[in-house]
Chain A
């Protein structure tokens, strides 16, 4: 039983991953205030911060793991669960709010069947609500990975999501 649990434990970090984290830490050795950049780079590498990765960072920087966790949970950027292939960042800035993002958001959630912060079962999409993407003149705005989509309507966003789903079926990445 214990072996089974260990096999299922997706958080378990392989030696290879450990080395990756260590080389990230080495990059910042000697520079002051390095914790946040290290966490950012670790997340950029693995997509999220696992408990193990934070423990390794804490040990290397000689601070407690609760300190690391405290900093990581303070900032909105850090995630503690794996994300989907495409992170859909829905802008909830003022202009998007008055531009009707609430309705767009409700449509999106009902279309792909997840809530804010969740990932679809097939691992394709994660929805993340964000404060403002700074493209206020194009409100309402949604960002999928690094691509920004503006002046959205329910119909437009629906079609955009469909193209991602279609691409996945064809084995392509957008």
Chain B
């Protein structure tokens, strides 16, 4: 039997994986010796679409595969037995070697067919649940405590502790919520886990339900993730058929049901009290804590909320013991963490590393360094709540405490690499624009303060900055941090604070010299045509705005500054340096 797998997660599909899958399907039609399957994200997004061919135990990973390459692989390898060297990414007789990676959360993602529960069961799936059901709830909580697992959604609160609080709340009704409202721009770990291994999340929720004494759970998933929702619905249905969800699970006294709630697009709903308000059908606004959800949560019942990645660890921990997890990591940050590597990096994708690995190793050894041989400038971690870490801190260890000391955070795991062409003031403005948009409006400092900060940043980027602006930004930042109810406001100034801390010179260049050193802020750059122009019309041809460049053939052209969108296409296209960028 020859197995062909195609990675058809959202990112794979965007790169054309569905067409590749259809091609293999067409080629292998009526061939009983070939099994064609879909799988999740294998993590190597930079070489999507990816296909795997397994012949008698030997596996070959191919990428990037388009329809033509698929045909080639099919003829030469599947039919002819000769692997197509040119497109091989990795091959092995057993498991692939992921350079410096350790896969716990992603143990099945990109390996199993997420739509088949048997694939999950064959890889130790629901074994953690079986072991948990044979123990007392308190013993289960102790194992999670011993594992050292901390919340992977961003705050890093010890998971076992959270469960303990919910367990000790006495009530006839309790809830478990899985926070799958992955809202940080630049983060896609949770989507990949939900799309590639939905049962691991459900298993974690079931174990949590048993441990805290709940019998109902919700997965609160972004509506922007239609494939994740579809896979979850299928997974729940299959688990119900096997009595893994429902009444008297596996013959025990434990009953548990799981529903899906689609989020409707509000970043603040990643905050637990706002999330619960949204599940209840209200505006998703946070409320004061205490009471904490463990005491009074969803519909005022004790509720435990964990993030997707946290739940995905739980089944593994229960199945293999606390030591299997806490043997990795640092003293206070145990286990592994998944990061979404993106931005100006060669090997963008999903990576899972041991906590405590230096940032440099993640970016250079795993990520393959900076794209197009450019110079590294910073890595943005933790999204709108996080910060930018500069080059001299690249040896910082990736754990909760070390990253916090730099002003950034582990956050949910987005890691966006910025190179010399990125403007740090623009990056800070980008995040402020985001948080300002997403502020729910409850707290005055978050609502109005972020707006004032954004106005100042806009002014600086437009070349109208004044010397007092930096002090004003610092002042507003401190006040917003101190006077906001939830983490959105408390952390909103972080991108500005860290860029000010490490890249103040760029702010000064914008304010004093009216220059954007990276050439990003469009108000501070102009493209003009000089006398070298021979009127070849190449710039006119590449210009995306029809009216921006005028001039007939063989006559010097002109750029209309009012219409020009400063995309630089003409600058790049001109072969005789007749276009100046100032």
Interface residues of A (CB under 8 A from B): 32-37, 39-40, 70-71, 74-78, 92-95, 97-99, 102-103, 106-107, 110-111, 130-139, 141, 146, 148-151, 154-155, 158
Complex-state Cα separation, A133 to B286, whole angstroms: 24
Does A130 contact B544, Cβ atoms closer than 8 Å? no
Complex-state Cα separation, A8 to B186, whole angstroms: 44
Could you tell me the distance in whole angstroms from the C-beta of B569 to the nearest C-beta in chain A? Answer: 6
Complex-state Cα separation, A133 to B154, whole angstroms: 20
Does A136 contact B416, Cβ atoms closer than 8 Å? yes
Q: Interface stretch among B80-88, B261-269, B398-406, B447-455?
A: B261-269
Partner of A76, one of B48, B188, B265, B342: B265
Partner of A97, one of B11, B340, B430: B430
Could you tell me the distance in whole angstroms from the C-beta of A11 to the nearest C-beta in chain B? Answer: 22
- In the assembled complex, B392 has its CB within 8 A of some CB on chain A: no
Could you tell me the distance in whole angstroms from the C-beta of B528 to the nearest C-beta in chain A? Answer: 18
B185 cross-chain contacts in A, Cβ below 8 A: 92-95, 97, 131-132
Does A98 contact B11, Cβ atoms closer than 8 Å? no
- In the assembled complex, B15 has its CB within 8 A of some CB on chain A: yes
Does A71 contact B348, Cβ atoms closer than 8 Å? no
Q: Interface stretch among B156-164, B218-226, B311-319?
A: B218-226
Complex-state Cα separation, A95 to B341, whole angstroms: 9
Complex-state Cα separation, A76 to B348, whole angstroms: 28
A33 cross-chain contacts in B, Cβ below 8 A: 261, 279-281
Complex-state Cα separation, A37 to B229, whole angstroms: 14
Interface residues of B (CB under 8 A from A): 10-11, 13-15, 45-46, 48, 182-188, 191, 223-226, 261-267, 278-285, 299, 340-344, 348-349, 380, 383, 414, 416, 418, 422, 427, 430-431, 434, 438, 440, 522, 542, 544-546, 565-569
Does A135 contact B416, Cβ atoms closer than 8 Å? no
Q: Please, which residue of chain A has its CB at the minimum distance from the CB of B383?
A: A94
Does A37 contact B261, Cβ atoms closer than 8 Å? yes
Q: Please, which residue of chain A has its CB at the minimum distance from the CB of B384?
A: A94
Could you tell me the distance in whole angstroms from the C-beta of A144 to the nearest C-beta in chain B? Answer: 11
A137 cross-chain contacts in B, Cβ below 8 A: 11, 45-46, 48, 341-342, 348-349
Q: Please, which residue of chain A has its CB at the minimum distance from the CB of B285?
A: A74
Complex-state Cα separation, A131 to B282, whole angstroms: 22
A71 cross-chain contacts in B, Cβ below 8 A: 281-283
Among B281, B383, B438, B566, chain A packs the most CB atoms within 10 A around the CB of B281
Closest 10 CB pairs of A and B: A137-B45, A136-B342, A76-B265, A75-B264, A148-B14, A94-B186, A137-B348, A35-B281, A132-B185, A107-B544
Complex-state Cα separation, A78 to B262, whole angstroms: 13
B182 cross-chain contacts in A, Cβ below 8 A: 134
Could you tell me the distance in whole angstroms from the C-beta of A150 to the nearest C-beta in chain B? Answer: 4
B261 cross-chain contacts in A, Cβ below 8 A: 33, 36-37
Does B10 contact A134, Cβ atoms closer than 8 Å? yes
A136 cross-chain contacts in B, Cβ below 8 A: 45, 186-188, 340, 342-343, 348, 414, 416
Does B343 contact A98, Cβ atoms closer than 8 Å? yes
Could you tell me the distance in whole angstroms from the C-beta of A151 to the nearest C-beta in chain B? Answer: 8
Complex-state Cα separation, A135 to B182, whole angstroms: 13
Known A95-B342, A106-B545, A131-B434; further 13 A-B contacts with Cβ < 8 A: A32-B280, A33-B280, A36-B264, A75-B264, A92-B185, A94-B380, A98-B343, A106-B565, A134-B225, A136-B342, A137-B48, A139-B342, A155-B542
Q: A94-B380, A132-B186, A134-B182 are contacts. A76–B266 as well, Cβ < 8 Å?
A: yes
Partner of B264, one of A78, A94, A151: A78
Does B567 contact A103, Cβ atoms closer than 8 Å? yes
Could you tell me the distance in whole angstroms from the C-beta of A132 to the nearest C-beta in chain B? Answer: 4
Q: A74-B266, A139-B342, A154-B544 are contacts. A95–B11 as well, Cβ < 8 Å?
A: no
Q: A75-B265, A94-B416, A135-B14 are contacts. A36–B281 as well, Cβ < 8 Å?
A: yes
Q: Please, which residue of chain B has its CB at the minimum distance from the CB of A74?
A: B283
Complex-state Cα separation, A73 to B381, whole angstroms: 30
Among A34, A36, A136, chain B packs the most CB atoms within 10 A around the CB of A136
B418 cross-chain contacts in A, Cβ below 8 A: 98
Q: A78-B264, A136-B342, A137-B11 are contacts. A154–B283 as well, Cβ < 8 Å?
A: no
A36 cross-chain contacts in B, Cβ below 8 A: 261-262, 264, 278, 281
Q: A74-B284, A158-B544 are contacts. A95–B343 as well, Cβ < 8 Å?
A: yes
Does A111 contact B544, Cβ atoms closer than 8 Å? yes
Among B13, B46, B185, chain A packs the most CB atoms within 10 A around the CB of B185
Does B422 contact A98, Cβ atoms closer than 8 Å? yes
Enumerate 25 A-B pairs (CB-CB under 8 Å) in ascending A order: A34-B281, A36-B261, A40-B223, A74-B283, A76-B266, A78-B264, A94-B342, A94-B383, A94-B414, A95-B348, A102-B522, A103-B568, A106-B545, A107-B565, A132-B185, A132-B186, A132-B224, A134-B224, A135-B14, A135-B188, A136-B188, A136-B342, A137-B348, A146-B226, A150-B11
B340 cross-chain contacts in A, Cβ below 8 A: 136
Could you tell me the distance in whole angstroms from the C-beta of A15 to the nearest C-beta in chain B? Answer: 27
A78 cross-chain contacts in B, Cβ below 8 A: 264
Partner of A135, one of B10, B46, B341, B344: B10
Does A148 contact B545, Cβ atoms closer than 8 Å? no
A158 cross-chain contacts in B, Cβ below 8 A: 544
Does A107 contact B15, Cβ atoms closer than 8 Å? no
Q: A103-B567, A132-B186, A134-B182 are contacts. A94–B430 as well, Cβ < 8 Å?
A: yes
Complex-state Cα separation, A133 to B348, whole angstroms: 16
B265 cross-chain contacts in A, Cβ below 8 A: 75-77
A32 cross-chain contacts in B, Cβ below 8 A: 280-281, 299
B440 cross-chain contacts in A, Cβ below 8 A: 74
Complex-state Cα separation, A87 to B23, whole angstroms: 28
Complex-state Cα separation, A32 to B284, whole angstroms: 16
Does B223 contact A77, Cβ atoms closer than 8 Å? yes
Does B186 contact A95, Cβ atoms closer than 8 Å? yes
Complex-state Cα separation, A106 to B263, whole angstroms: 29
